[in-house]
Chains A and B, each alone.
Chain A
Amino acid sequence: MNASLANPVAPSAVNVRELLSPRGVRFWLVEDYAVPLASLEFAFGGGAAQDPAGKAGAATLLAGLLDEGAGDLDSQAFQQALDEKAIEISFHAERDHIGGRMRTLKRHLDRAGELLRLALNAPRLDEAPFERVREQVNAQLRREANDPAAMAGRAWRARVFAGHPYGLPTQGSLESLAAIERDELTGLARRLIARGALHIGVVGAIDEKRAAALVDQAFADLPASGDLQAVAEAPFAGLAGVEIVDLDVPQSTIRFGRPAVPRQDPDHIASIVLAHVLGGGTGLSSRLFREVREKRGLAYSVSASISALDHASYLYGGTTTKNERAHESLAVIGGQILDMAHDGLSEDELEKGKKYLIGSYPLRFDTSAKVAGQLVEIQLEGHAPTWLVERNARIAAVTMADARRVAERLFGDGALSVVLVGRPEKV
């Protein structure tokens, strides 16, 4: 096994090592013996953006099935095997990757590794679980059919990313799910569950040697590379427009956004700070919170933040206001964004925003599972382990000149693409 490739000390006192297993699988490890458990998180690049045409929801179904039977263990047997030792293995489909996690008490690590290996390398994707999981997703979709928040999000993405995979719901629709056949999931698994775009984080009461063995056991025999379709950069449509989705409810649920700075762009960090000042943090002290909730009592919650995907980056936010005053919320939000576009932000806002983002970073690292998740997230963003220290340094380095310049870039002419679900007046 190679020696650690990097050994930074993170501000949160997390000591991460980047390692290579005997069979060449790269993983990041944090050893921590305080609690007798181990957490493993991983991600396969691909995700819902790889759903075949007309089959939105395929990646979601696949993720839902990977723990529903593997090798000689059918669905019930597999679940019982997990349950017997309180081992947790689960998968989830995101837009750009399929993620998974495993958590186990230290004393059941061997069994956990076996079960994870089976799930990844020999998923059964049997007919009965397939129908059952699909029906569960259907039930969820039906439940959300008239849920304003779900409707608003879907409608917003369909409008803004029309014609692009990002415009489709990751869970699919009742129609698209009905069109998916079980064999197609086998093909999808072969395309996505591979070593080519794999990122792994291991945290807990587990040493280098044992972690490498676990990683080899679970991942080493997967195909060397997957087969990912190219995904285009996403368009951004619908600016300076408001789409109203009629629903007979007393409140209007609002979603708004505009294109933002790409993740790889040097200005991305400054844009994170700006979005925080506008509508971020815990939401109790942002501009939008102050103007929409505190001053005018227009809403219970209001927020905005940057969403950075592999092929799109956008400012995205929302609020919920009673129908009679929804137009007011829109005006206030639009006003604040325009304000920041023209006048940037104050020194005080910049300093406080940076301080918050820096000071809050350690809070992401206070449980083994969260640390493992962060390790994977950092890898997905394309960073090295040094990011754990570098990230705060980059935020601290944002100057007022940077902020003003990027504010113009981010907020532009203030145009927003807005979707509103409800029965707003005067909109």
Chain B
Amino acid sequence: MKRLSSEFSLEPAAAPAAARSASGSGVVDFRLDNGLEVVVIPDRRAPVVTHMVWYRNGSADDPVGKSGIAHFLEHLMFKGTKAHPQGEFSLRIAEIGGQENAFTGADYTAYFQRVAKERLGEVMEFEADRMTGLALTDEVVAPERDVVLEERRMHCDADPSAQLSEAVQAALFTHHPYGAPIIGWGHEIERLTREDALAYYARFYTPENAILIVAGDAEPEEARRLAELHYGKIAPRGAAPDRRRPQEPEPVARRLVVVNDEKVEQPSWQRCYLAPSYRTAAPGEAEALDLLAHLLGGGQTSLLYRKLVLEEKRAVAVGAYYMGAALDETRFYLYAVPAPGVSLPDLDAAIDRVLNALIAEGVEAKALERAKTRLVADAIYAQDSQATLARWYGAALATGQTIRDVQEWPERIEAVGAESVLTAARKQLERRRGVTGFLLPADETAA
């Protein structure tokens, strides 16, 4: 098979892990007195540890008019503290042969290092220090703002596919801040200031609002001792900030968004539906959506692939993806690449026919079994990677799920009945709940 790379970069899936970590001993979680939640995921197969701090805030928490501040702050977190001036942390990581990076999502911002296990205390010290010790000057902020603008230019302004994705999100979320790009709108990035960053920092970067994840070759008791030592001394600030975003009203209109650009040689189609997340869904509903995504577009045996690529030959690629790990109502994606000579309206209608047929005829029992097999196996495969486990636990906890939710996920997947999947399809795949996006060359219209 030939997999086309996905056109848009997606945040990590909700799929969490099974009960036992790779070392056989279980996941340990506890809370420090100052409110910091700590999760230890032992895996002793390589003398490496993945150390992550997740803050429960993301681009959806950007104040109005200041889109991009969460992401900008993520960049600025590398600019040094009073105790450790700019570059010292990164140089130290480089010295010990570690890897470091950070990422901003709509609902969380995370910082991580992967280092030799003996270095755990050291990275904790640095990370704990920059939770409250960031020291920013205008001289440092200005060039970094330019860097972010370059990043936006590189990923967006030159890329019609990225522009379409942004437009689709903006049309799907007419009110909720998920409709703004994580990196922010260009005209608002330009006006972000040092004060904006510090205000956001003071509000969200507190121990009560953070989750520490240590995965890899670390003994839970030793990890606890080090966490107490380095993070425990951070004064509690009071309850974690209340994250109340303006919620998306019930959609009533199906939407079509079209981007024409002379750089487009290969048209493509996407659709994004508003759907409940693991946090907002009724019991079993999100699990049903995870299965539905796999049934519809999870590979070459999926429904859309069989119908559109193999039988009707209207598409060369199709896929589906459910972003279940989100704090608020989230996105259920479909995407497809038309076969030569097939117009996007034609493809669009064909996809709707397949979806309607599914809703009318129901879910095939064998297909459901295969989907469950795959998702449950994913949970086992995940145990093989400390970094994967750390990300999955982190994303889940930062978006309102619990450790137990994560660990019992495979059972809940197994328990989903065909009827639930059908109900989820019927409810969530209504045209008016979705935005369709067409990516076209300059001289074609979406007739």
- Asked if A142 and B265 sit within 8 Å, CB to CB, the answer is yes
Tell me if B263 counts as interface (CB < 8 A to partner A). Answer: yes
Tell me if A9 counts as interface (CB < 8 A to partner B). Answer: no
Closest to A366 in B: B46
- Asked if A34 and B24 sit within 8 Å, CB to CB, the answer is yes
- Asked if A145 and B266 sit within 8 Å, CB to CB, the answer is yes
Chain B neighbourhood of A298, CB < 8 A: 150
- Asked if A12 and B47 sit within 8 Å, CB to CB, the answer is yes
Tell me if A147 counts as interface (CB < 8 A to partner B). Answer: yes
Chain A neighbourhood of B115, CB < 8 A: 359
Tell me if B407 counts as interface (CB < 8 A to partner A). Answer: no
- Asked if A363 and B99 sit within 8 Å, CB to CB, the answer is yes
Q: In the complex, what distance in Å separates the CA atom of A297 from the CA atom of B145? A: 8
Chain B neighbourhood of A299, CB < 8 A: 147, 150
Q: In the complex, what distance in Å separates the CA atom of A356 from the CA atom of B93? A: 8
Closest to A33 in B: B24
Q: Which of B5, B157, B309 contacts A250 (CB 8 A)?
A: B157
Tell me if B370 counts as interface (CB < 8 A to partner A). Answer: yes
Tell me if B386 counts as interface (CB < 8 A to partner A). Answer: yes
Chain A neighbourhood of B46, CB < 8 A: 12-14, 362-363, 365-366
Chain B neighbourhood of A84, CB < 8 A: 370, 373
Tell me if A16 counts as interface (CB < 8 A to partner B). Answer: no
- Asked if B310 and A76 sit within 8 Å, CB to CB, the answer is yes
- Asked if A251 and B146 sit within 8 Å, CB to CB, the answer is no
Closest to A290 in B: B87
Chain B neighbourhood of A32, CB < 8 A: 45
Chain B 32-67 interface mask (CB, 8 Å, partner A; 1/0)? 000000000001111110000000000000000000
Q: In the complex, what distance in Å separates the CA atom of A298 from the CA atom of B373? A: 48
Q: In the complex, what distance in Å separates the CA atom of A287 from the CA atom of B80? A: 19
Tell me if A37 counts as interface (CB < 8 A to partner B). Answer: yes
Q: Which of A12, A284, A322, A356 contacts B150 (CB 8 A)?
A: A322
Q: In the complex, what distance in Å separates the CA atom of A66 from the CA atom of B390? A: 34
Partner-contacting stretch, out of A132-140, A212-220, A267-275, A306-314: A132-140
- Asked if B154 and A300 sit within 8 Å, CB to CB, the answer is yes
Q: In the complex, what distance in Å separates the CA atom of A320 from the CA atom of B157? A: 13
- Asked if A103 and B381 sit within 8 Å, CB to CB, the answer is yes
Q: Which of B93, B142, B154, B377 contacts A86 (CB 8 A)?
A: B377
- Asked if B90 and A142 sit within 8 Å, CB to CB, the answer is no
Q: In the complex, what distance in Å separates the CA atom of A163 from the CA atom of B268? A: 35
Q: In the complex, what distance in Å separates the CA atom of A67 from the CA atom of B3? A: 12
Q: A284-B78, A360-B98 are in contact. Are A297 and B150 (CB under 8 A)?
A: yes
Q: In the complex, what distance in Å separates the CA atom of A363 from the CA atom of B51? A: 13
Tell me if B299 counts as interface (CB < 8 A to partner A). Answer: yes
Tell me if A285 counts as interface (CB < 8 A to partner B). Answer: yes
- Asked if A135 and B316 sit within 8 Å, CB to CB, the answer is yes
- Asked if A282 and B99 sit within 8 Å, CB to CB, the answer is yes
Chain B neighbourhood of A83, CB < 8 A: 299, 301, 370, 373-374
Q: In the complex, what distance in Å separates the CA atom of A36 from the CA atom of B310? A: 34
Chain A neighbourhood of B300, CB < 8 A: 75-76, 79
Chain A neighbourhood of B384, CB < 8 A: 35, 37, 39, 367-369
Q: In the complex, what distance in Å separates the CA atom of A12 from the CA atom of B216? A: 13
Chain A neighbourhood of B148, CB < 8 A: 300
Tell me if B116 counts as interface (CB < 8 A to partner A). Answer: yes
Tell me if B317 counts as interface (CB < 8 A to partner A). Answer: yes
- Asked if B159 and A139 sit within 8 Å, CB to CB, the answer is no
In chain B, positions 264-286 with a C-beta closer than 8 Å to chain A are 264-266, 268
Chain A neighbourhood of B370, CB < 8 A: 80, 83-84
- Asked if A359 and B97 sit within 8 Å, CB to CB, the answer is yes
Q: In the complex, what distance in Å separates the CA atom of A13 from the CA atom of B117? A: 12
Chain A neighbourhood of B380, CB < 8 A: 35-37, 105
Chain A 67-94 interface mask (CB, 8 Å, partner B; 1/0)? 1100000011001100111100010000
Tell me if A426 counts as interface (CB < 8 A to partner B). Answer: no
Task: Bin chain B's interface residue count.
Answer: 35 or more
In chain B, positions 360-418 with a C-beta closer than 8 Å to chain A are 370, 373-374, 376-378, 380-381, 383-388
Q: In the complex, what distance in Å separates the CA atom of A147 from the CA atom of B87? A: 33
- Asked if A321 and B150 sit within 8 Å, CB to CB, the answer is yes
In chain A, positions 93-143 with a C-beta closer than 8 Å to chain B are 103, 105, 128, 132-133, 135-140, 142-143
Closest to A89 in B: B1
Tell me if B249 counts as interface (CB < 8 A to partner A). Answer: no
In chain B, positions 81-104 with a C-beta closer than 8 Å to chain A are 87, 90-91, 93-101
- Asked if A139 and B374 sit within 8 Å, CB to CB, the answer is no
Tell me if B158 counts as interface (CB < 8 A to partner A). Answer: yes
Chain B neighbourhood of A361, CB < 8 A: 97
Chain B neighbourhood of A415, CB < 8 A: none
Chain A neighbourhood of B306, CB < 8 A: 76
In chain A, positions 1-59 with a C-beta closer than 8 Å to chain B are 12-14, 32, 34-37, 39
Tell me if A281 counts as interface (CB < 8 A to partner B). Answer: yes
Q: In the complex, what distance in Å separates the CA atom of A320 from the CA atom of B417? A: 50
- Asked if B99 and A360 sit within 8 Å, CB to CB, the answer is yes
Q: Nearest Cβ distance between residue A242 and chain B, in whole angstroms? A: 20
Chain B 241-279 interface mask (CB, 8 Å, partner A; 1/0)? 000000000000000000000111110100000000000
Closest to A86 in B: B377
Chain B neighbourhood of A138, CB < 8 A: 316, 340
Tell me if A64 counts as interface (CB < 8 A to partner B). Answer: yes
- Name the residue among B97, B100, B316 with the largest chain A CB count within 10 angstroms: B97
Chain A neighbourhood of B339, CB < 8 A: 135
Q: A135-B339, A136-B316 are in contact. Are A79 and B265 (CB under 8 A)?
A: no
Tell me if A293 counts as interface (CB < 8 A to partner B). Answer: yes
Q: In the complex, what distance in Å separates the CA atom of A114 from the CA atom of B100? A: 41
Q: A34-B23, A282-B94, A369-B384 are in contact. Are A145 and B316 (CB under 8 A)?
A: no
Q: In the complex, what distance in Å separates the CA atom of A369 from the CA atom of B387? A: 13
In chain A, positions 290-333 with a C-beta closer than 8 Å to chain B are 293-300, 320-322
Closest to A137 in B: B2
Closest to B261 in A: A146
Tell me if B22 counts as interface (CB < 8 A to partner A). Answer: yes
Chain A neighbourhood of B216, CB < 8 A: 366
Tell me if A414 counts as interface (CB < 8 A to partner B). Answer: no
- Asked if A363 and B48 sit within 8 Å, CB to CB, the answer is yes
Chain A neighbourhood of B374, CB < 8 A: 83, 86
Chain A neighbourhood of B158, CB < 8 A: 148, 249-251
Q: In the complex, what distance in Å separates the CA atom of A359 from the CA atom of B148? A: 30
Residues of A within 8 A of B (CB): 12-14, 32, 34-37, 39, 64, 67-68, 75-76, 79-80, 83-86, 90, 103, 105, 128, 132-133, 135-140, 142-143, 145-148, 247-251, 281-282, 284-285, 293-300, 320-322, 352, 355-363, 365-369
Could you list 11 further interchain pairs (A-B, Cβ under 8 angstroms) beyond the known A282-B99, A285-B91?
A34-B43, A76-B300, A83-B301, A90-B1, A139-B337, A281-B94, A282-B100, A297-B146, A300-B154, A365-B48, A366-B387
Residues of B within 8 A of A (CB): 1-2, 4-5, 7, 22-24, 43-48, 78, 87, 90-91, 93-101, 114-116, 142-144, 146-148, 150-151, 153-154, 157-159, 161, 216, 262-266, 268, 299-301, 306, 309-310, 316-317, 337, 339-340, 370, 373-374, 376-378, 380-381, 383-388
Jot down 26 A-B pairs with beta carbons below 8 A, ordered by A. Answer: A12-B46, A14-B46, A34-B45, A35-B380, A35-B384, A37-B380, A76-B300, A79-B299, A85-B373, A86-B378, A86-B381, A90-B1, A132-B309, A132-B316, A140-B5, A143-B266, A251-B153, A285-B87, A300-B150, A320-B154, A352-B94, A355-B95, A355-B96, A363-B114, A366-B216, A366-B387
The 4 closest A-B pairs by CB, nearest first: A359-B97, A86-B377, A142-B266, A146-B263
